[in-house]
Amino acid sequence: MKKTLMVAALTGVFATAAHAQSSVTLYGLIDAGITYTNNQNGHSAWQATSGTINGSRWGLRGAEDLGGGLKAIFTLENGFSIMNGTASQSGRMFGRQAFVGLASDQFGAVTLGRQYDSVVDYLAPLSNTGTQYGGTIAAHPYDNDNLNNSVRFNNTIKYSSVNYAGFKFGGTYSFSNSTDFANNRAYSFGGSYSWGGLNVAAGYLQLNNDVPNAPFTNANGPASTAAGAQTGEWTFLAGRQRTFGGGVNYTFGSATAGFVYTQTNLSGTANGGISAKQSGTTAGVGFNGDSARFQNFEGNIRYALTPALSLAGAYTYTRANFGGGVNPNYNTVALQSDYALSKRTDVYLQGDWQHISSNSDNIGPFLNGLSSASRTQDQVAVTVGMRHRF
């Protein structure tokens, strides 16, 4: 009898220890609001919107302690619309993120799966669109630099370093999963450094697609979708995309001010252009030569007026070259006030304005996340919403 009781007690102890060494967390964020737009395809609009600032999502995150400072980790994250319950990211079950890997307290982490690139990981948090202070609708025109992670990458191996006295770095490689190894692939690298109130970061992203006018539409490719090009995640119809940039933030007291510069160079754009999803037009926006370019200059500021109330704003000037003498310039302003009702729930008021000056009547302003572009030179959107985290 005594032996039986001892075995039962030891079994309970070991079960508790095993449970303490591994964990799985359910988490999520819901962003819902009402948005007024002055001009969408020639008409004003009132719309119930999901993810105006941060995309609504739920996910599972887990870790298992393997001993010696090593652990197994995984993340499965689904994106969805709170307004109709449908899945985002072309209907994928775990379209935002899906990866598994090993993490070391000493050497960093290596993960495999569908993941963000290094520009998103390191540079985006210094911009307005890459944070809770501007988000989706505040993206640079067409999200041309992917700071709002419009494109996520399949078949990706990623390395993320540990924090070396404020310095972190990493990189990704996304396989084509075809015999044509160098085609339909992507890679990136980046890093950041923090010291006191100073934070600087830089990143580089390249997408290779040597097949003309077929950007990552292979169902096995790194940025692919089986649903086809017009409904997919790709932003540009181009043979090659190179995006790079850098930024700096400085926090002083209750305020944080920053500047971010990015540039996206496209080649192999003959008969190419911007996807319908990103340009807000049925047929997309076309390029007029074999190359195109976007340059973004963003200044941003955030200020905590009280522990519960914050104010934020950003101005971005974008110079673009579509070829054939078409050189539109974009001025984008995003302003936000946010009030925290609790640690997990807040309400916000956000206004966004974009003005385009162009020598082409076929290009209109289009704030990211709206249904369609404006038929005038200006587009204004005002959103009242709430976010809840769990």
Q: At residue 267, what are phi and psi to the nearest 5 degrees?
A: -130, 160
What region, left, alpha or beta, does residue 166 occupy, with left being phi > 0 and alpha being psi -120 to 50 degrees? left
Count of CB atoms situated within 10 Å of the CB of 134: 27
Nearest residue to 51 via CA among 89, 23, 2, 7: 89
Q: Are 223 and 152 in contact (CB under 8 A)?
A: yes
Question: What is d(CA 273, CA 175) in angstroms, rounded to the nearest whole number?
Answer: 24
Distance of CA 303 to the CA centre of its chain: 23
Which domains are delineated in the chain?
Answer: 23-389 (2.40.160.10)
Model pLDDT, residue 195:
96
Q: Could you tell me which residues are beta bridge partners of residue 255?
A: 252, 303
Tens-digit pLDDT string for the chain (390 aa): 444 444 444 444 444 444 457 899 999 999 999 999 999 999 999 999 999 999 999 999 999 999 999 999 999 999 999 999 999 999 999 999 999 999 999 999 999 999 999 999 999 999 999 999 999 999 999 999 999 999 999 999 999 999 999 999 999 999 988 887 778 899 999 999 999 999 999 999 999 985 544 444 444 556 543 323 333 578 998 889 999 999 999 999 999 999 999 999 999 988 889 988 899 998 889 898 899 999 999 999 999 999 999 999 999 999 999 988 899 999 999 999 999 999 999 999 999 999 999 776 678 999 999 999 999 999 999 999 999 999
The sign of the torsion formed by the CA atoms of 91, 370, 312, 342 equals negative
How far is residue 62's CA from residue 150's CA, in Å, rounded to a whole number? Answer: 25
CB 209 within 8 A of CB 218: no
Other CB atoms within a 10 A radius of the CB of residue 50 amount to: 22
Q: 1: which residues sit within 8 A by CB, 6+ positions away?
A: none
The residue type of 321 is N
Measured between alpha carbons, how far apart are the two ends of the chain, in Å? 47
At 12, which helix (H) or strand (E)?
helix 2-21
And the tokens for 104? 């070391």
Whole-number Å distance between alpha carbons of 208 and 194: 32
d(CA 226, CA 234): 12
339/307 Cα distance (integer angstroms): 9
Is pTM beyond 0.85? Reply is yes
Contact present, 88 and 54 (Cβ < 8 Å): no
Q: What pLDDT does residue 91 have?
A: 93
Q: How far is CA 258 from CA 53, 128, 150, 200, 252, in A?
A: 19, 9, 22, 9, 11
**Residue 232: what pLDDT?**
54
